[in-house]
Amino acid sequence: MTGMNLVGPEADALDLGAVFRALADEHRRSVMTELAVDRSDSERGCNSFDLPISKQTQTHHFRVLREAGLIDEIDYGNRKGIRLRRADIEKRFPGLLALLGAESPGGTAPR
Amino acid sequence: MTGMNLVGPEADALDLGAVFRALADEHRRSVMTELAVDRSDSERGCNSFDLPISKQTQTHHFRVLREAGLIDEIDYGNRKGIRLRRADIEKRFPGLLALLGAESPGGTAPR
DNA sequence: CTTCAGGTACGACTTGCATCGTACCTGAAG
DNA sequence: CTTCAGGTACGATGCAAGTCGTACCTGAAG
């Protein structure tokens, strides 16, 4: 089976409190900002975001993002994929990703 | 002197991280939700939000909201006023207040 | 003046959370 | 098989933050 065994809440069950708590951390927010800017929404590797923290801590952060419903984690056994749940987020919290994208250091305005 | 000696950051200096950290707390978020829904943006008393916490803790939460740039606190000496910084927030983080307003228990949609 | 309610300052306590060390699992490559 | 890199599980640690107790200040009302 190819992945997706790690699941978060349904689109309608996304909790704004959990989302804000997830985005309160600088590292998690930088991940979400990168994802928000990349309009291709392609699956990304966990270490494509170079976070200055240990891999155990990265595991923790990605879990928080998944449990908040912001990303999907695709488990391949010895490798993991990350994908932004853009449609679900836009449906439940329209404009949130734009706020994150506007914070992109490259000045990558959503237009 | 009529108030406003308590000041937060300038409109352009609002930090998304500080805002998310402020909104991560349930009590602070409930205050902001109430403020976001009330389009009159009139000055409100501190205990017009009935929070199930002591007054010292309320002082703490309002301070966090002010330092995040979300509200103004008007000091009258023995009384205090609270006012939402709607224009500044909308300018810097357009759509944020709509997200909060949509969480209002009364189903008070922003329009 | 005294009384009283609203608010703050300081400190203590407790919980939550970010972080990492150690150990272990998984799958791919030799 | 062994080796190795990516990832997880569990536990410990350190720090930030939410909460409240006590004491004090401020202004209004008697």
Chains A & B: contacts with CB separation below 8 Å: 41
Residue to substitute from B89, B99, B104, interface A, most A β-carbons within 10 A: B99
Residue nearest to nucleotide C21 (CA to C1'): A56
Q: What Cα–Cα distance (Å) separates residue A87 from each residue in A39, A93, A96, B3, B16?
A: 12, 10, 12, 45, 22
DSSP state of A52: S
Nearest CB to A23: which of B20, B93, B94?
Answer: B20
Provide the token pair at B105: 């228990």
* Stronger pLDDT, B22 or A111, i.e. the higher one: B22
- The answer to whether the CB atoms of A24 and B21 lie below 8 A apart is yes
Separation between Cα atoms, residue A43 and residue A35, nearest integer Å: 10
Along chain A (111 residues), what's the average pLDDT of each consecutive run of 10 residues?
A: 72 96 98 98 95 97 98 95 98 98 75 50
Strand D contact with B20 (CB < 7 A): no
Overall average pLDDT of the B46-73 stretch: 97
Residue A30: per-residue pLDDT: 98
Scan residues 31-90 of chain B and list those with Cβ within 7 Å of strand D. Answer: 53-54, 56-57, 60-61, 64, 76-78
Q: Are the C-beta atoms of A21 and A2 separated by less than 8 Å? A: no
Q: Check pLDDT > 80 for residue B21.
A: yes
Q: Check pLDDT > 90 for residue B20.
A: yes
DSSP string, chain B: --S--B----GGG--HHHHHHHHTSHHHHHHHHHHHH-TT---EEGGGS--SS-HHHHHHHHHHHHHTTSEEEEE-SS-EEEEE-HHHHHHHSTTHHHHHHTT-TT-----
Sorted by where each starts, the structural domains of chain B and their CATH numbers stand as: 11-101 (1.10.10.10)
Residue A108: per-residue pLDDT: 56
Mean pLDDT of the residues in chain B = 92
**How many alpha carbons lie under 13 Å from residue B48 in its C-beta half-sphere?**
14
Q: Are the C-beta atoms of B33 and B103 separated by less than 8 Å? A: yes
Residue A109: per-residue pLDDT: 52
- The answer to whether the CB atoms of B24 and A26 lie below 8 A apart is no
Residue B2: per-residue pLDDT: 52
